[in-house]
Amino acid sequence: MKELGSKVWAIPAGRIPPDSTGREPEFNSRDELCLLNATGEEANLEITIFYADRDPVGPYTLKVEACRVRNVRFNDLIDPEAIPMGIDYAAVVESDVPIVAQHVRFDSRRAEDSMFGSLGFAGDG
């Protein structure tokens, strides 16, 4: 399945909920980036974070091994710098092999959680 996915993905609606309720870590509020590399080659990713009022920050580098998934919480992206909580951001993910990327938000600020899951926008072309 060496062509399953896209080499460029955009996640436009980032915002890490700043508070949480419930047991850690499974009920922590978060933005997750869910990545599938269904190819036979390791994927080398460069993630750029865009903000409303300052220049983009990056690249955040990440590997996804061949035939593996990798689930990253955006607040674990700390090099070159952490993403502030509670503010709007977007992520552009570039990979050297095709991958599939989904954005899942889990918001537990008010005891009973809410969530959404949205595929990224596949920008390959």
Task: Give me the residues that bind a second copy (CB under 8 A), please.
Answer: 1, 3-5, 8, 10, 12-15, 22, 26-27, 32, 34-36, 38, 50-53, 55-56, 67-71, 86, 88-90, 92, 100-105, 107, 109-123, 125
Closest CB to a second copy among residues 66, 82: 66
N residues, the chain: 125
Show the tokens assigned to 48.
């750029």
Show the tokens assigned to 77.
């992206």
Q: CB of 58: closest distance to a second copy in angstroms?
A: 11
Show the tokens assigned to 61.
């580098």
3-state helix, strand, coil in the chain (%, to 5): 0, 55, 45
Closest CB to a second copy among residues 65, 82: 65
Q: CB of 98: closest distance to a second copy in angstroms?
A: 9
4 with 39: CB under 8 angstroms?
Answer: yes
Q: CB of 15: closest distance to a second copy in angstroms?
A: 8
